[in-house]
């Protein structure tokens, strides 16, 4: 089997990641996922809030 160094390293990283995840309790996996999604959602909401605020200021200055 011909395997390149980068392919072998990628496979090793995937395997090690799976082992680390396997060692976690199911609740830890779910809580980490929820924390990631919540952080992403808050970041997006913050961007939308800032854009809305900027638009309101621009509209107010235009009148």
> What is the number of helices (H) and of strands (E) in the chain?
2, 0
pTM of the complete model: 0.54
Chain-centroid distance of CA 9 in Å reads: 23
Which pLDDT belongs to residue 36? 97
Of 48, 29, 50, 52, residue with least CA distance to 40: 48
Q: Give the tens place of pLDDT for each residue, 21-40.
A: 777 778 888 899 999 999 99
Which pLDDT belongs to residue 35? 97
With beta carbons less than 8 A apart as the criterion, state whether 51 and 59 touch.
no
Separation between Cα atoms, residue 22 and residue 15, nearest integer Å: 10
């Amino acid at each position: 089997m011909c395997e390149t160094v980068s392919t072998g390293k990628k496979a090793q990283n995937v395997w090690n990641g799976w082992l680390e995840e396997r060692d976690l309790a199911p609740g830890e996996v779910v809580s980490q996922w929820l924390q990631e999604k919540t952080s992403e959602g808050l970041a997006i909401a913050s961007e939308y809030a800032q854009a809305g605020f900027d638009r309101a200021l621009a509209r107010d200055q235009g009148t």
